[in-house]
Amino acid sequence: QSFKLLGFLDVKSVPCSRESVLYGSVGSLVVGLGHFLATSRVRRSCDFAVGGFICTMLGYWFYCRYNLAQHRIRQRMLKEGMRNKILFEGSSLDPERKQTGNERSDS
């Protein structure tokens, strides 16, 4: 069972969408209630609540997607490093292998 926001955003399968909606709703509540307590204007407070939802949701969306991209880049680099470690381990191309004087003169 998937939940689609606005009919097209599948909240369950798209990364960061669930958290963005949750933080957006909390931001909406805080901004709307804060504006209402400050001014006692209901309609204007609802407008501020909608704006708070959109700003908070988009702000967290970009923050989360940026962190997700950074995490994927680090995973890719780690995977490539592990593959190179396995490939070059014990060979003359191994950077951790200490070269002796005889090996240096042969190269």
Alpha carbons within 13 angstroms on the beta-carbon side of residue 81 total 7
Question: What percent of the chain clears pLDDT 90, i.e. is strictly above it?
Answer: 54
Q: Compute CA 55 distance to the chain's CA centroid, rounded to the nearest angstrom.
A: 17
Q: Is the pTM of this model over 0.85?
A: no
More confident residue, 11 or 17: 17
Rg (CA), the chain: 26
The mean predicted confidence, pLDDT, of the chain is 84
* pLDDT, tens only, 16-38: 888 998 999 999 999 999 999 99
The residue type at 72? R
